[in-house]
Amino acid sequence: MAASSALTGQDSQPIDALIVGAGFAGMYMLHKLRGLGLNSKVVEAGSGVGGTWYWNRYPGARVDIQSLEYSFGFDEGLESEWRWSERYAPQPELLRYAEHVADRFDLKRDITFNTRVAAAHWDDAAHVWNVKTEQGEAMRCRHLILATGCLSIPTDVTFPGIDTYKGDIYRTSRWPHEGVDFSGMRVGIIGTGSSAIQSIPIIASQADHLTVFQRTPNYSMPAHNGPIPDADFEAWAKDPRAYRAASKDTVGGFQNEANDALATDTAPDAIKAELERRWAWGGFRILGAFADTSIDPEANRIVQEFVAGKIREQVSDPAVADLLTPKDHPFGTKRPCVDTGYYATFNRPNVELVNLRAEPLVGFTPDGIETSAKKHEFDAVVLATGFDAMTGAIDRIDLRGVGGRRIKDHWAEGPRTYLGLMVAGFPNLFTITGPGSPSVLTNMINSIEQHVEWVADCLVSLKQRQQTSIEASAEAEAAWCRHVAEAVTPSLLPQANSWYMGANVPGKPRMFMPYAGGLNTYTEICNQVAAKDYEGFIIRQGDRVLSDSRQFTSHPPQGEIPEKLLPIIVERLTAAGLMPAE
């Protein structure tokens, strides 16, 4: 109960909104609310803005969506004055962009840095959030907006004997600001996810020797990075509004030339030509090659084999190429990586691949890492071991809603939300790109813009009508969770042990967290919900309930489903209990 909460008894006037996090989401949220005359502040754990791009400074860190699309579109002045240097901007440039946004809109005067929120308790009587930071500061706000990022809390992975190791240990997600020079060193790296795949080629080019400890290989496509071709820039610059609108009106929030054709209906020569063309283009374009690869295992196998062939082309030792080829998950069911020279790095004489499946990691020694087969000596070790994705930054806050209910308890079987935006029993709490929203399956900037604008409209509507609180109904939350499951179940996505499923964190409930129905569909649903006077939400003025529509009745626009895929879809939905058996 709020009455017994340690966070009551504060007498300061509540501000309209407290935003947690000064990454792209928190910055735009602040700018937007300020423009609407709402008194808003941000607290940020780091000493600067940028979120992901503030923390992840490992060598080779860069965005994997093209920069022309991975940048804000909400302000034409900002858009026209910034010119990206490369197709896929490197982290330092992304951080400069974040700084530029903060300066241009004078955001820092309302951001408190080096401050992490420890607790936030809803006060049932006063209808405000009482917030406490790890630094001991107390704040009150009507609305609490978590812009805490989907990949911001590293997993707690540790290894026996790690404290005895005498060399340096670096985490990709907490890289020293001054950088690291590995020249002349023997280096080990644990992990082969995106962070490792981006950093391995650079570390290998500096170090005397690099040992890569791989448990599970990932699929990676070449970025073919370089300056933005003039033709691409001109196509974008001709009408950036139209370009952005087209990006947002896609499943992934970026342009991918999605093809309606089915691989299983296409002649082998034509498949090869299409996949080659997309591979040469680079990045995620291959994901849109055929409409059935995300659903039909047969179609997916065609792409798997194509990519395996590409790995063999790049890696001269066939045994190493084989080890680098994923075999445990369909293509695209874990976030594919986008690299610059990753596979070719294994042709270097100073790079060695250790297969932890055959030679498990025993632990650290004072001099390095021991596997069941050998002791490896290192001057430095890099941990590229991933994140407690989507929920980690939220459930680490002592967050308590109505009646003192803790978010951890509410999410004991996986994160339940309504639209990925709000949680039943947690009034006036918003999550930007939260679980249950398209978020990590999309271009994050476009998802952020859509969420920020929806939340801002909602707060304006509440204020105009002197409404004090909005809360997702339990019924709407349950209906949304079911819809999230319906959206992903027909696909192959749940078949991988991915961080999308919470599979990389021991003990984390297995549940596919992001909404797989597409950013375009999702935006349409959110707009319908708002247009129906926030259906599925309970709106109050003080204790008085003003609107209580409870049910979520909005429906996603129905796209055409190729007839050939229907039996697979029906079978999976039926097996999951999401469709009655005939």
Closest C-alpha to 252, from 559, 554, 528, 523: 523
Q: What is the 3-state secondary structure (H, E, C) of 281-326?
A: HCHHHHHHCCCCCCCCHHHHHHHHHHHHHHHHHHCCCHHHHHHCCC
Using the rule CB under 6 A, is 190 a contact of ligand NA7? yes
Using the rule CB under 6 A, is 191 a contact of ligand NA7? yes
SS3 of 471, please? strand
Using the rule CB under 6 A, is 50 a contact of ligand NA7? no
Q: Which of 353, 384, 423, 432 binds ligand NA7 (CB under 6 A)?
A: 384
Which stretch, 12-20, 189-197, 222-230, 272-280, contacts ligand NA7 (CB under 6 A)? 189-197
Using the rule CB under 6 A, is 192 a contact of ligand NA7? yes
Q: At CB < 8 A and 24+ separation, what contacts does 321-328 make? A: 323/214, 323/217, 323/353, 323/355, 324/214, 324/217, 324/353, 325/217, 326/216, 326/217, 326/218, 326/219, 327/217, 328/216, 328/496, 328/497
Which stretch, 118-126, 384-392, 405-413, 449-457, contacts ligand NA7 (CB under 6 A)? 384-392
Q: Which of 195, 250, 256, 491 binds ligand NA7 (CB under 6 A)?
A: 195
Q: Compute the least distance from the CB of residue 220 to ligand NA7, in Å.
A: 11
CA distances from 26 to 1, 74, 259 (A): 29, 14, 35
Q: What is the 3-state secondary structure (H, E, C) of 543-578?
A: CEEEEECCCCCCCCCCCCCCHHHHHHHHHHHHHCCC
Q: Compute the least distance from the CB of residue 104 to ligand NA7, in Å.
A: 27
Residue 510-529 contact track with ligand NA7, rule CB under 6 A, x = bound: --------------------
| Radius of gyration of the chain measured on its C-alpha atoms | 24
Q: Which of 34, 96, 215, 396 binds ligand NA7 (CB under 6 A)?
A: 215
Query: Which residue is at the shortest CB distance from ligand NA7?
Result: 193
- Looking at residue 369, its amino acid is I
Which stretch, 116-124, 201-209, 313-321, 381-389, contacts ligand NA7 (CB under 6 A)? 381-389
Using the rule CB under 6 A, is 151 a contact of ligand NA7? yes
Q: Which of 256, 504, 520, 521 binds ligand NA7 (CB under 6 A)?
A: 504
Nearer to ligand NA7, 7 or 151 (CB): 151
Residue 341-360 contact track with ligand NA7, rule CB under 6 A, x = bound: ---------------x----
Q: Compute the least distance from the CB of residue 497 to ligand NA7, in Å.
A: 7
- Looking at residue 166, its amino acid is K
Which stretch, 373-381, 382-390, 441-449, 477-485, contacts ligand NA7 (CB under 6 A)? 382-390
SS3 of 203, please? helix
Q: Where are the alpha helices (DSSP H) in 315-436?
A: 318-323, 342-345, 392-395, 407-410
Residues that bind ligand NA7 (CB under 6 A): 151, 157, 172, 190-196, 215-216, 335, 356, 361, 384-387, 499, 504
